[in-house]
Amino acid sequence: MNSRYSFGGDEHIFVECDEAMSLEAFFKSLSVTKAVRAAQIRGVTEICPANASFQIKFDPDVIKPDDLLRELKSIEAAAASGGHSSLKTRIIEVPVLYNDPWTHETLMRFRDRHQAPDMTDIEYTAKINHLDGVDGFVKAHSGAPWFVSMVGFVAGLPFLYQMVERQRQIQSPKYLRPRTDTPKLTVGHGGCFGAIYSVRGAGGYQMFGITPMPIYDPNQEIKYLKDFMCLFNPGDIVKWRPIDRAEYDQTVADVEAGKFTPRISNVTFSLDEFHADIDGTNAKLTGALYGH
């Protein structure tokens, strides 16, 4: 995996760790950006890890572009030889009402922009992934945890990468033409990536459900978003938990009343351990959430 460096104008360096998405490429992006952050290079103003790439914004009046390029390459080389394939992070449970009325209403409104106008987004995705209907889909989608491989597009929106073998990963194309509307907190999917829409707005991802748990609060009034307005960081792990309408309504009420706290546990993830035993590693990670 040879990284490709490119200047993005006179203020950015863009680094593609790999053309294709993989956990290895994501880990490289995460470990190099962590090392860059730790190096506290003067003139660096933004450090942005992404799925299989990363980007550094800098002030060329403070550090010469070629000097920064050299420094990044040496940090990358050191990070690679250090073998940073383990990560101290958090696992966060996200309750999901699959097949909810709000994304259903929205997907019906935009059926003319979809590949399969006579099916819902879940039915379509279940079919092309050879899953057994909606139930089979929910089982596959919520069965294994997902990595937050990037946060962005809009404020606080996590991109999620399913932690299973490539042949088991759910894949689904984006809408033929993007929608002009997506409900806030929609659980979506495009290509191999899951996402949670942090705000209402345009979008092209398939829509599977909705979470009652806000993940972005610019006013910082929600109890668990008081310290910082965005819940997710790159490197977090997400575990979906299917819920019914009654629990959805109760959770919305609890959030409003300031009584809801997300279920979060600290975990250590090892890439080697994961590759040696995917299901076992995932069971251990999920176990940390529920105290077993």
Give the residues lining the site for another protein (CB under 8 A).
6-12, 14, 16, 18-22, 45-55, 57, 60-61, 65, 150-157, 159, 166, 173-174, 190-193, 198-199, 201, 216, 218, 229-230, 232-234
Of 33 and 282, the one with the shorter C-beta distance to another protein is 33
Closest CA to 68 of 43, 46, 51: 43
Give residue for tokens 């019914």: 244
Q: What is the rounded distance in angstroms from the CA atom of residue 58 to the CA atom of residue 53?
A: 17
Shortest distance (Å) from residue 146 CB to another protein: 14
d(CA 27, CA 163) in angstroms, rounded, equals 13
| 38: CB partners within 8 A, 6+ apart | none
The C-alpha atoms of residue 201 and residue 94 are separated, in whole angstroms, by 21
Q: How far is the CB of 191 from another protein (least distance, A)?
A: 5
99 φ, ψ (degrees, to nearest 5): 55, 40
- Cα dihedral value 48, 32, 166, 162, nearest 10: -50
- DSSP per residue over 252-284, as a string? HHHHHTT-----EEEEEEEHHHHHH-HHHHHHH
DSSP state of 176: S
Residue with Cβ nearer another protein (12 or 241): 12
Q: Is 191 helix (H, G, I), strand (E, B) or coil?
A: strand
Closer CB to another protein, residue 61 or residue 118? 61
Rounded Cα distance, 277 and 279, in Å: 6
CB of 255 vs another protein, minimal distance in Å: 17
SS3 26: helix
For another protein, the closer CB: 177 or 259: 177
Q: Parallel, antiparallel, or unpaired for β 86-98 and 237-242?
A: parallel
- Give me the least distance between CB of 6 and another protein, in Å please: 4
User: Minimum Å distance from CB 216 to another protein?
Assistant: 7
State which residue, 196 or 243, has the beta carbon closest to another protein.
196
Cβ–Cβ under 8 Å, residues 36 and 68: no
Nearer residue to another protein within complex by CB, 211 or 286: 211
Distances (CA, A) of 110 to 79, 99, 122, 239: 46, 16, 15, 29
Closest separation in Å from C-beta 152 to another protein: 4
* H or E stretch at 121: helix 121-128
Nearer to another protein, 8 or 258 (CB): 8
Q: Give the shortest CB-9-to-another protein separation in angstroms.
A: 3
Q: How far is the CB of 94 from another protein (least distance, A)?
A: 17
**Beta carbon nearer to another protein, 98 or 183:** 183
